[in-house]
Structure 1
Amino acid sequence: MMASLGVSTETWNERYLGLPVYVGQSRSKVFAYLKDRIWKRIQGWMERMLSKVGKEILIKACAQAIPIFAMTCFDITKGLCDDINSMICRHWWAYQDNDHKMHWLSWDKLTLPKKEGGLGYKDLHAFNMAMLAKQAWRLPAIDPVSLWAGLKARYYDTSVLLATPLEGISYSWRSILKGVDLLNMGVIKRVGDGSSINLWLDPWLPRNWCRKPITPRGQNVLTRVSELLDPTSGTWDARLVDDTFSIQDASLIKAIPVHEDIEDFWA
């Protein structure tokens, strides 16, 4: 392409639109610019005799807002998040750059909501994972002709929730897969007509520790939730449910509302 256009030299930009163009082996070096920007911004506040309320507003509106754009696309690493948290925490308890004040509360306490005794600061690593999970959650709803839709053709076949890392994938997609892992810890299939829910593999039982049936499948031939419904009444076939599942699973299943007039959906 350079020969066709008559270009003799090529300039490599480190960042484009505020994000790194290339992510190498050292993640800390690639995203170090975020730490530097926050540190320069905080140093500008050091000489000001701000009240605690003023410091809180500046930290939330400025210092913790700087890395948000990068967090929507990349896993900026837990180590970098911890470094940023340390800088912010040091600024919160001190007035000057060389002050080393006692930290009377841990950072974990400061990140709690105010109604629970904290200050509502962001846990940056948890926030980073939440932003990546949000990107993963949006993928199924994207217009099939959009540029983002090309991710499905390249990286996964059926559902983004079943996507796995492949050789040679980009760092941005590898980061989104971490958001997929977080989603899989909390998503659940809501029962509509039950036709698209795999009886044994999909998470569809409303409990916190395991949303899949814990009953051993054995030689059972049932594969879809719709097969557990009475075709006449449209409700659960109680006898079939009791014969198929353990008491614990059966009681949960019979308490799930059924909506035969809608399709199954993720929640």
Structure 2
Amino acid sequence: MLAQAKSSDDSLLFCQASLANGEALINILQLYEEASGQQLNRAKTSLYFTKNTPSAMRELIKDLFQVPEIKCHDKYLGLPSFVGRSKKEAFGGLKDRVWRRIFGWKEKLLSKAGREILIKAVAQSYSHAKYFPSCSFMDARVGRRPSYAWRSLAMGRSVLNVVMRWHGQKIRIWHDPWLPLVGSCMVQSMSAGMNPKATVSDLLLEEPRRWNETLVRENFSEWEAGVIMSIQLRDNRRGDRLFWNETKTGVFSVRSAYHLQLRHVAEVCGGESSTRHKDRGFWKFVWALSIPPKVKSFIWRACIGILPTNDLKFKRHMRGDGCCPVCVGATESAEHVLWMCPMANDVWVASTLPVLKWDRLVHSFCDLIVMARSRLGRGDLEFFACLMYFIWHQQNGVVYDGRVSNPVMVVERGRRLIQGFRDAHALPEVVLGRGNRRTVEEGSWTPPLPGLYKLNWDVHVDKETQAGWVGILIRDSAGLVMAAICASLPFSSRGEYFWYSGALVATQFALELGFFYILFEGSCSVFLSKLCRQVRGETIQDMWLKDIWALIPKFRSWEVLSVSRDQNIAAVCLAKLGSKFRQTTVWLENYPAELRNVLESL
């Protein structure tokens, strides 16, 4: 009997261990071989017998089939094919592999739900990757009789398709999202003669590397052709990369996908999900707290009233009363356990937080959080949240495990948790290469040393047209302008992209004119600080920075300087002139007349 088919050419056949059944099965297989033209691969075929099969019968059947017997539990797709009474023996290897994969994670900083998601994701990755060995996850078919987990993952692809975008050259033009647009990134124009399976590389010309404008305008609408032609091409050849448009970094996060799904449901249903009568600002504040995810989840559960307090158990008919086991009279609600109960009050006294004079009577836990938000600083508020998390655990330990109340230990655990979380998220700045980065003291523009050239650059984005412009001036040690450019920047829905694009234009401009001993001086910004860090991440900003750093080694001497906008006023004014010029303009040993007064005042 064909019991299970896990792949197109793998089968498990079950029958009673007897010569008659064995001969009948061989006849069936021979008939199948003759009808289909396929032949059984005996090198990959094996027999498995239960413990009740006599040894003599095993030998007769092995001689009949001419295939080996397996003694141990074989595996398929990373999981055991046969599971006996000992689940520990069958799945012990899988447990060890999962543990090795998650070893090193700061699991204490993960919420209960976060730990569950992590373990499920790691465990399921061993078998689900086998569902699409010859294609991508987005193109894989669900198949017949899929597992619940695989079917759920496949259903989520419709949400992913909305905000994913590819970067690269081997991307399919009409099948993959790759246009730099807000919303759908798919091409809407119909092909006018190109192969439907054509890739982005088919739209490029080499030496110099550029878009094939004629081909682009023949196959795309005027609007889409303009978008494609505005995409800046990179000189270095890298593999295709997939980015997530719902985050600034381009890296997928469960949080952003969750909010995307909420918006999708709201659009379909024409309404919003319940927020327990709290406005968006309150929930945004709660989720923006810089505390471990498990504490955030705890605060959220307390706010919406789903902590398993005695009051909740009583309302759900799980207890005879809802009284607090410590106070033996008051109702054990979330606000009572964490704020009004004498056991909690001992912790707040030991915490040294300025909360002792606050009103002990609050109507709800949300009111307590609102009161703390208005009276505590950011750091104290985050410590406040961590203490409530451990007050809850202390209460459970005293009531159910017979432990002794220790408010000092609760405060110490809360302090260690928040400090450990802050230390884990502190990122040191790393300085790179032959060059350096430093911040210049306030004052006016200063010329470089003899033999060096200083490049000042700045970016301006027109608020009405959303067009981006970069202004660049290169001056020598005498302060004379050697070259200047006001260049238009490719459009992007990401505002920070203009800074990357401006820095790339400045780097290429200096190299093309042969200024190899250069000081890059720009207005102080978040982008400029990132530019000088050693980039090893996988975000979309990291990819942009890698393009710039690929050009930096071509300079013989370089340095990056961060100055105020007043010291960089010439480049600031030049960038703003872009709205007037309307096109890229270059000056050699000269500059626009509009900058005369600015340069003479420096």
Q: TM-score range by the shorter chain?
A: 0.3 to 0.5
TM-score (norm 2): 0.21
Larger radius of gyration: 2
Give TM-score scaled by structure 1 length.
0.45
Higher strand share: 2
Which structure is higher in RCO with an 8 Å CA cutoff and minimum separation 6? 1
